[in-house]
Amino acid sequence: RDITETAAASPLCDVVIFYLSPCEGFIKGGANPAPECCVGAKRLVDELKAKEDRIEVCQCIKALLPLLGPFDPNRVPLLGQKCGIKNFFPPITPATDCSK
């Protein structure tokens, strides 16, 4: 099975889309994340207890980001900084190994 299909079919992926959709403007280069983006990002991280969950969400973000169009992978960890979230995700690009 293709990893994109796996990621897109994951129930966690629906959660990611739900929580992070307000962040799209920021990930594409906006000045600051919207308040609801930070709320969603925090909730998402709070729900990720197991390493497997983080891997799955990473794969999901990796599958979704190219669909947004041009984006800067460094905006993903910046989201964590701007929203004050510790242990947020590293830069995620199509080459990212989510198992790390």
Distance (Å, rounded) from C-alpha 43 to C-alpha 16? 10
**In this predicted structure, what is the pLDDT of residue 83?**
96
Signed CA dihedral, 22, 24, 27, 65: sign only: positive
pLDDT digits (tens, 9 = 90+) for 46-100: 988 888 889 999 999 888 888 888 888 889 999 999 999 988 888 888 888 998 7
Q: Rounded mean pLDDT of 42-46?
A: 93
| pLDDT in the model for residue 67 | 83
Q: Is the pLDDT assigned to residue 15 strictly greater than 50?
A: yes
Q: Return all residues near 21 (Cβ < 8 A) that are at least 6 apart.
A: 40
In whole angstroms, give the CA distance from residue 53 to residue 49. Answer: 7
- Token readout for 71 is 């984006």
Give me the pLDDT at residue 1, please: 44
**Model pLDDT, residue 93:** 84
b/e string for 77-86 if b means 16 or more Cβ within 10 A?
ebbbebbebe
Report residue 74: phi and psi, to 5°. Answer: -70, -10
* Section 25-49 average pLDDT: 92
Domains and CATH numbers, the chain: 12-83 (1.10.110.10)
The reported pLDDT for the residue numbered 9 is 58
Q: Is residue 40 scored above 90 in pLDDT?
A: yes
